[in-house]
Structure 1
Amino acid sequence: MTGGDKEDGVADGLEIAVRERAELGEGPTWDPVAERLVWVDILSSRVHLFDPATGRRTVLPTEQHVGAAKPRRDGGLVVNLRDGVGLYDPDGTFRWLRREVVRGRRGNDAAVAPDGALWAGTMRYDERTGGGTLSRVAPDGAALTVLPEVTVSNGLGWSPDGRALYFIDTPTRRIDVFTVAEDGGVTGRRVLVDTAGLSGFPDGMTVDADGCLWAAFWDGGALRRFTPEGVLDRTVELPVSRATACAFGGGGLTDLYVSTARVGVDPRAEPLAGSLLVLPGLGHGLPQPPFAG
């Protein structure tokens, strides 16, 4: 890898946070209370916990494929599993919050809204068009299906003022935006960005303190930042083709962590595929709320 212009090219200072062979690394999230990064390997059914200050790593096996894991308000994790949404207590005890078994379908990306609800996506293993959903799961487990016909439910993020929700259904190659109502619901879906002219497919994303959207591009080997108006204003190339998601972490939320996948990748050509990467000092992130359940 060669150093490049930070405005366009491989970012100087790219580091390997965790050298790993994750099949499908996904969903990095900073836990400010525990001061650690939470991320998952979906196909290996593992939740990874990483403390960048000490280098300590912990792996929590799950009984099912796990699409996302997010911190809870009172400790522990909420997880988006194959058969629904579950809870891990701080002592490791597991229980289902909402179980909904649909053969051939699994949980995928998820995010916590400013009001503490979990927005959880699903997809078919065969990626059948319209076979997935996007649902809002309340702290008590009550769920509302917001989008009933999603193909690969992926990136989610809210604007700094909480008035806009951004969403990616990966095969559409779009980033859509909704208006958030007072009750936390959404209306007025429209296309913010059409990425069809760019390499790869938008996957996971995060929103920074300036309200810009950072999206990881599957088979695109890059992170791309878009302004709140949908204008591409920055590209950061990566030494892996399958970047899956990104999130700001560290004490000042200035380090951008990137999850990657090695499924379908030649490891000889991409030895870092599956590792957790980090771009120190790339910007400023927003504090992510914990799940209120």
Structure 2
Amino acid sequence: MTELTYVATLDVPVARLGEGLYFCSHEMALYWVDILQPRLFRQDLNNQSITIQEFDEAICWVNKDINGKLVIGCNSGIFHYSFKSQRKTLLWRNREVKNNVRLNDAKCDRSGRLYFGTLDNSETKAKGRLYTIDNSHSCITVDTGYTVSNGPAFNLSGDIIYSVSSTERTIYKIQYSKQHNAFSKSVFIKWPSSQGYPDGLTVDNQNNLWIASWGGAAVYCYSEQGKLVIKVSVPALYVTNITFAGPRLNDVYITSASHTMTETELTKFPDSGKVFHYKADNFNGVAETAIRYLPKS
């Protein structure tokens, strides 16, 4: 296994719970969120300027649809969002809010289907689910039984979904059959306790899976056979999400959290809650697919 050390800490505001990284290649812009101090960040990678917008509820992830519109996942549901007007337009309502369940993480598969997970806010009950929006614009359940759902990510051919049950320290491989619109699940990685808890993840152009480690101060890269090949040390204890960005998709960006930390932990990891960056040698990411199917508003 190769061990690497981070390169740079971005000069950005500290997040309580940084998450939801998304790179828009058309804009050459990086997006991320602070879920608990609800803010949406956009950084122009050409000039490094940052735009920040505050929200009145938890904002959990950000993406783009095929028309270039911003799509965000919030506590109460999924919305179109305009930076200019700061207006949210409801697309899908989270009816589990009353059960203390919120949205957590999301990505779009290779064919333009949005997948998103939910979690139990108390992180004690398996009330979370993994959902997708199918080509009839309906929201369907892919999997259940998550206390904290993270990911998902998709292999290059698009027939495997990697889905994380963080509290169980388990990364599942869910195989999708387009012909039968069916899913079958197996355990891909049983995460060792020495590495903290698996959190957000992404796939590179060699089908390797890159996984942020909550409590592990690192990102871990596994081959498609499940072999650990790279560890990237990060100067934050609670690492939450990772994405590839930049013109060659070899700029790696990593988010982190600060809200659960003790004074001793903050002294050891003073940059916790910031965004980190390094250049990946011999690895490139995969361009994001725009969302093709959204719930009908």
Tell me the TM-score normalised to structure 2 length.
0.91
CA deviations 1:18-44 (Å, max 9, x no partner) are 432100000211101111011111111
Identify if the C-alpha distance between structure 1 residues 139 and 44 changes in structure 2 by more than 3 Å, giving closer, same or farther: farther
Identify if the C-alpha distance between structure 1 residues 58 and 140 changes in structure 2 by more than 3 Å, giving closer, same or farther: farther
1:66 aligns with 2:56: no
Match of 2:291 in 1: 291
Q: Which runs of 5+ in 1 are unaligned?
A: 1-5
Q: What secondary structure does 1:257 align onto?
A: strand
Letter in 2 for 1:285: G
CA distance in 2, matches of 1:204, 1:26: 8
Q: What secondary structure does 1:190 align onto?
A: strand
> 1:197 deviation in Å?
4.7
CA deviations 1:186-234 (Å, max 9, x no partner) are 5221111111253200000010000000000000001100000111111
Match of 1:179 in 2: 175
Match of 1:3 in 2: none
Q: What secondary structure does 1:268 align onto?
A: helix
* 2:174/2:186 contact within 8 Å kept: yes
Match of 2:267 in 1: 268
CA deviations 1:242-293 (Å, max 9, x no partner) are 1001000011100110001111123333221111111123420001111124
Number of residue pairs aligned between Structure 1 and Structure 2: 286
CA distance in 2, matches of 1:185, 1:18: 45
% identical aligned pairs: 25
Q: What secondary structure does 2:10 align onto?
A: strand
CA deviations 1:160-201 (Å, max 9, x no partner) are 111211110101111110112225945221111111253200
Match of 1:23 in 2: 16
1:95 aligns with 2:94: no
* 1:109/1:121 contact within 8 Å kept: yes
CA distance in 2, matches of 1:142, 1:49: 29
Match of 1:143 in 2: 139
* 1:40/1:67 contact within 8 Å kept: yes
CA deviations 1:50-100 (Å, max 9, x no partner) are 112201101122231011111222123111111111111464432110112
Match of 2:5 in 1: 10
> 1:17 deviation in Å?
2.7
Letter in 2 for 1:279: Y
CA distance in 2, matches of 1:186, 1:53: 42
1:189 aligns with 2:189: no
Q: What secondary structure does 1:198 align onto?
A: helix
CA distance in 1, matches of 2:62, 2:238: 20
* 2:211/2:220 contact within 8 Å kept: yes
* 1:97/1:140 contact within 8 Å kept: no
* 1:98/1:141 contact within 8 Å kept: no
CA distance in 2, matches of 1:209, 1:247: 12
Letter in 2 for 1:291: I
Match of 2:74 in 1: 81
CA distance in 1, matches of 2:83, 2:16: 26
* 2:116/2:152 contact within 8 Å kept: no
* 1:131/1:150 contact within 8 Å kept: yes
Of 177-186 and 253-262, deviating more is: 177-186
Match of 2:109 in 1: 113
Letter in 2 for 1:25: G
CA distance in 2, matches of 1:100, 1:160: 30
Root-mean-square deviation (Å): 1.9
Identify if the C-alpha distance between structure 1 residues 184 and 49 changes in structure 2 by more than 3 Å, giving closer, same or farther: farther
Identify if the C-alpha distance between structure 1 residues 9 and 16 changes in structure 2 by more than 3 Å, giving closer, same or farther: same
CA distance in 2, matches of 1:184, 1:158: 19
Identify if the C-alpha distance between structure 1 residues 161 and 212 changes in structure 2 by more than 3 Å, giving closer, same or farther: same
> 1:123 deviation in Å?
0.8
CA distance in 1, matches of 2:17, 2:219: 17
CA distance in 1, matches of 2:15, 2:136: 32
CA distance in 1, matches of 2:155, 2:113: 16
Match of 2:210 in 1: 214
Identify if the C-alpha distance between structure 1 residues 160 and 94 changes in structure 2 by more than 3 Å, giving closer, same or farther: same
CA distance in 1, matches of 2:289, 2:29: 14
* 1:212/1:226 contact within 8 Å kept: yes
* 2:216/2:237 contact within 8 Å kept: yes
